[in-house]
Amino acid sequence: MLNFAWEILQLPLYTLWYESPPTEIAFAVVHCTLGDILIASLSFFAALALSNGKTWPLERYWRIALLAVFFGVCYTVFSEWNNTVVTRAWAYSSWMPTLWGVGLSPILQWLLIPMSVFWTLSKRRLGDQT
């Protein structure tokens, strides 16, 4: 749900918001949210596999969390660059802050949302052990 909300909130940062009909915007939000779920899942399972995380969350909790976030950010940087520069599948509006041509909002999305989820889960995990 956090990614769904983020996708809606960042719409004005893309030209889609100004150039497309509501049905196309709604499709883009759903499509991007499903993509977010796929990115998060693949990033998490890659982190588990590369960290030998068979006992996660009991061991290597933060190593796997940080690696999963790293993978999500790396994929997002590549995807944003590929879709805005190479294939031009979408474009940023003048409101999107960028760093080296890549939008900061999607990068922040892949830093803040996963880290807040991992942090919340770590608090629950520690609470269950006491």
DSSP collapsed to 3 states, 34-77: HHHHHHHHHHHHHHHHHCCCCCCCCCCHHHHHHHHHHHHHHHHH
pTM for the full model? Answer: 0.86
For residue 124, what pLDDT is reported? 74
Q: Are 118 and 65 in contact (CB under 8 A)?
A: yes
Give the pLDDT of residue 78.
Answer: 96
Residues in a beta bridge with 99 = 102
Q: What is the pLDDT along the chain (130 residues), one digit of tens a residue?
A: 999 999 999 999 999 999 989 999 999 999 999 999 999 999 999 999 999 878 887 888 899 999 999 999 999 999 999 999 999 999 999 999 999 889 999 999 999 999 999 998 888 766 655 4
pLDDT given for residue 84 in this prediction: 94
Q: What are the b/e assignments for 99-116, b being 16+ CB within 10 Å? A: eeebbebbbebbbebbee
Which residues, including other chains, have CB under 8 Å from residue 53's CB and lie 6 or more apart?
47, 59, 60, 64
Q: Is 98 helix (H, G, I), strand (E, B) or coil?
A: strand
Q: Which value, to the nearest 10 degrees, does the dihedral of the CA atoms of residues 5, 9, 10, 12 take?
A: 150
